[in-house]
C-alpha cells in the first residue's frame, strides 16, 4: 500500500489549520481549522472518519483526551467546545 500525501488527508478544509492533535494510539489525527471544523482522519489510510462543526469562531487550539474518546477546541471568540469522538 502506498503512503497517502498529507495534502490528501486534509482535503476539504476551507481554511488554514490552527493546530492538530493525534489520538493517544497515533492512529487518528484531528486538526482544528479556521473554518470552524475539526475533521477526524485515519492516519494510515488517509481517510476522513468524521467532521465536527463548532460555532466558536476559528478553531485555534485542540486537544484529545488521554483515553482518545473526547476532544476539546478553543475558538477565537474565547469559548471552548468539548465533544465525544466517534
pLDDT given for residue 43 in this prediction: 85
Cβ partners under 8 Å of residue 73, min gap 6 = 32, 38, 54, 56, 59, 60, 61, 62, 63, 80, 81
The number of C-alpha atoms within 13 Å of 56 and in the hemisphere containing its C-beta is 21
pLDDT given for residue 69 in this prediction: 93
Residue predicted with more confidence, 1 or 76: 76
What is the distance between the alpha carbons of residues 20 and 25, in angstroms, rounded to a whole number?
Answer: 15
pLDDT bin (cut points 50, 70, 90) of residue 62 is very high
User: Are the C-beta atoms of 19 and 30 separated by less than 8 Å?
Assistant: no
Q: What is the pTM of this model?
A: 0.78
Q: Which three cell numbers stand for residue 24?
A: 493517544
SS3 label, residue 34: coil
By percentage, how much of the chain surpasses pLDDT 90? 42
Q: Is the pLDDT of residue 79 over 90?
A: yes
Domain boundaries, the chain: 6-84
Q: For domain 6-84, give its CATH number from 1.20.1640, 1.10.10, 1.20.950, 2.40.10.
A: 2.40.10
Amino acid at each position: 500500500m502506498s503512503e497517502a500525501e498529507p495534502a490528501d488527508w486534509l482535503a476539504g478544509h476551507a481554511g488554514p489549520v490552527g493546530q492538530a492533535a493525534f489520538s493517544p494510539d497515533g492512529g487518528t489525527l484531528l486538526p482544528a481549522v479556521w473554518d470552524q471544523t475539526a475533521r477526524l482522519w485515519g492516519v494510515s489510510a488517509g481517510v476522513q472518519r468524521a467532521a465536527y462543526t463548532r460555532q466558536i469562531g476559528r478553531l485555534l487550539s485542540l486537544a484529545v483526551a488521554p483515553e482518545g474518546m473526547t476532544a476539546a477546541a478553543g475558538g477565537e471568540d474565547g469559548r471552548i467546545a468539548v465533544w465525544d469522538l466517534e
